[in-house]
Structure 1
């Protein structure tokens, strides 16, 4: 099981502080927040309430009932504040209050948040408390919740977003996998904690895809559309747009021509999808070669949703009557390496970031990104505060990285109007002999074999 060590340490540090706190903690469905809370509360005094999708009156009724059962009192509370007046720590220690799936219970139409603030300020309970407001809705946490609390933003002491796991986390989760298998897994399911927990690291990639994605009983079979529908209505419209992007229509005008939707409508839908990290507008690394940069490119940034709409959604009819293995062999296997190229780039970028953190680069980077040209791409660019650069290109699918790829990189650098202190050439396979000789003669050209990642 994935352990969110950094987030756990942060929660522990907040708990150990000598003051009362309110903490907003949120992450997408499957982020592993439940197991994190379970680990954090072990051995501590706490009250946990899971919010329901219901009216304010029923929410208060459920909340009050749980309070009375937990703290053994009989008087029915007529408000959240009244309920909290019966609240107490069993051993006198700092008491934890968890409001889970808070998007259903903390609203402008009720006083729950104000009651939590009063609780923190010791107006309802004399002891120290740590209030955890928890949500699996990124849209609510980042947009709606700030509107609800208004000018009381300072009452929230800490915000913790449970980001998707990194590639390094995925590698650690599957110790029996080769680096190539870990990259493949990362490109298919991404870093969603629950997905990683349920993926079988003892089985091959194909076996996992067939069992968990292509089988109607697989836990990921309906996950892509299910996840989108948790935050958005009009699923058919979002499916249309995602299917179009996955098929290669990455610019607004291409989507307009392919879907028939107006540009304004597409822009609104894109904004909604971006609000909970499904799509993003790719912003090319800023260089002097702005005229040569491709602009307005959209990408599906959620790996599993991208995988589903690239390989499965276009062939749902075939999936119904074909065996998973047969479907995989025809519709996935021949194209998987090409698909994984962009995720290998993500992995290489993460590797460069880690080298930067531990001071193993020739310059200290302050930003890392990708330059997308009208002709040519620089997979990785890192820049220091005084605008010195390191650049890199990544090869996943070709049998070896050729010298011509290096020459293409130099040409792209001219178009981007940048120079580089060091050039990194990343390859999942071999390097041709000419590149090997170049790296021996020119120490600014560094070859990185995938097994080093």
Structure 2
């Protein structure tokens, strides 16, 4: 399969590789996000020792690492069958044969947390070796991991032995929608957007679908069918990440149903609000949920535990908990067609509207980076107060220039009434300079296009323009 996207990550890795100094890179992100595939793609034309750690005992892991080192020509392989300890093994990285053509040696240790769990002294050993030997070598060492909280607490925190040693840290995030759409080159723009709303920007999920078959066929075959690749994926991932999976599922389901405030989630789940913080923080750490604030909120508001709304950051989890989880009995019984026809298909565009709002925010920031907007944006996201809300608002660094947007993922064209409503709501921003953007799947009526043609502060953005 052709490798898609990850331009920023690959550019970062290339710049690190070309830096004349030794490099210690930490790359991490949630499972299935594409870390390993990105590193494999990056390493294709480079002399690389790629070690994929597995869960096991210290001795088992050290034996496998020794084998890989000796295959790459480590001198100790001439008189050892296995390194005695991790200090000797990692120290020998600097003794690997010099690559041809002056290229530097790339060493990737995938799922590094597995090694640390079997030998907690490993970060301290590596810190000592880096300080005294490895940082003087012609080496680029990449430590990769999926255990996000572990990486942040045990590797990157101020109290961790390796704190301050990393020359680069890359947290892998889901793909933007325009890269996700490249998985389905022959889909209509509408179906590309729907596929993104179902699967999000996780490459492994996107790669599961067959781009030569319809969206409906793929959803039935790979999400709704018992035993298929994605039917039990949330269950599997939850068991890998959490112990009290039932509680986490209940919380995710509540958010999927629209309970976005802390007290509402507590009421729905019967979990006390003062205990919910731990579970919600864990969901945020692994990228399943997020805490959202109005785009105009000050940093002080973000620090208040009771403020903000909780939303599902993972689109696939949102889809699964909206449509698969509540229909498990029917789906387990094989009624895939019935669930699709009666439950999913009628609600699909309404469900996708939330993903479409995020797509519009991503589009605004991309246009800003490319200098295609009236002013450079500092941030973009939803806005709301006690009585009104706007789907997307972009602000410059001063907060005095704003782009306010209305997003409609439905087949009916937008008309002037929506512009008037947006204009009234946007007045609450108090911006010194204001532009109004309307984003639409179904296009725009002639009266609205006439207004936009005569008013430079109004812009109409179609889905096909967003997909360009």
The alignment's TM-score, normalised by the length of structure 2, stands at 0.88
1:360 maps to 372
Choose 305-314 or 201-210, whichever is displaced more.
201-210
2:271 maps to 261
1:2 maps to 3
CA drift of 1:79 comes to 1.6
5+ unaligned residues in a row in structure 2: which ranges? none
1:301 maps to 313
Matched positions, count: 450
> What is the 5 A alignment of 1:116-195?
116-121=126-131, 123=133, 127-147=137-157, 150=160, 152-195=162-205
Secondary structure at the aligned position of 1:150 is classed as coil
Choose 45-54 or 262-271, whichever is displaced more.
45-54
CA drift of 1:246 comes to 1.0
Correspondence 1:59 to 2:61: yes
Correspondence 1:80 to 2:86: yes
Secondary structure at the aligned position of 1:202 is classed as coil
Measured at CA, do residues 421 and 127 of structure 1 come closer, stay the same or move farther in structure 2, by a change above 3 Å?
Answer: closer
Q: Among residues 434, 437, 450, which one is paired with 2:450 in the alignment?
A: 437
Q: Report if the CA contact (8 A) 2:157-2:163 is conserved.
A: no
Q: Deviations over 1:252-310 (max 9, x none)?
A: 1111221111112222111110111111111012279x99xx95321111000000001
2:329 maps to 317
Q: Distance in 1 between matches of 2:155 and 2:315?
A: 27
5+ unaligned residues in a row in structure 1: which ranges? none
1:242 maps to 252
> What is the 5 A alignment of 1:370-385?
370-385=382-397
Q: Among residues 71, 94, 111, which one is paired with 1:101 in the alignment?
A: 111
Correspondence 1:404 to 2:414: no
Choose 273-282 or 150-159, whichever is displaced more.
150-159
Choose 203-212 or 124-133, whichever is displaced more.
124-133
Secondary structure at the aligned position of 2:160 is classed as helix
CA drift of 1:242 comes to 0.8
Q: Report if the CA contact (8 A) 1:377-1:409 is conserved.
A: no
Q: Among residues 437, 449, 452, which one is paired with 1:424 in the alignment?
A: 437
Measured at CA, do residues 5 and 414 of structure 1 come closer, stay the same or move farther in structure 2, by a change above 3 Å?
Answer: closer
CA drift of 1:396 comes to 0.9
Q: Deviations over 1:365-401 (max 9, x none)?
A: 2222210233332111112234111111111125121
> What is the 5 A alignment of 1:189-208?
189-208=199-218
1:344 maps to 356
Measured at CA, do residues 379 and 419 of structure 1 come closer, stay the same or move farther in structure 2, by a change above 3 Å?
Answer: farther
Q: Report if the CA contact (8 A) 1:120-1:131 is conserved.
A: no
Choose 409-418 or 439-448, whichever is displaced more.
409-418
Q: Report if the CA contact (8 A) 1:138-1:276 is conserved.
A: yes
CA drift of 1:2 comes to 3.2
CA drift of 1:202 comes to 1.8
CA drift of 1:104 comes to 1.1
Q: Report if the CA contact (8 A) 1:25-1:134 is conserved.
A: yes
Measured at CA, do residues 60 and 149 of structure 1 come closer, stay the same or move farther in structure 2, by a change above 3 Å?
Answer: farther
Q: Deviations over 1:11-48 (max 9, x none)?
A: 22222222211111112222222222222223433323
Q: Report if the CA contact (8 A) 2:123-2:162 is conserved.
A: no
Measured at CA, do residues 397 and 69 of structure 1 come closer, stay the same or move farther in structure 2, by a change above 3 Å?
Answer: same
1:28 maps to 30
Q: Report if the CA contact (8 A) 2:391-2:407 is conserved.
A: yes
Secondary structure at the aligned position of 1:245 is classed as helix
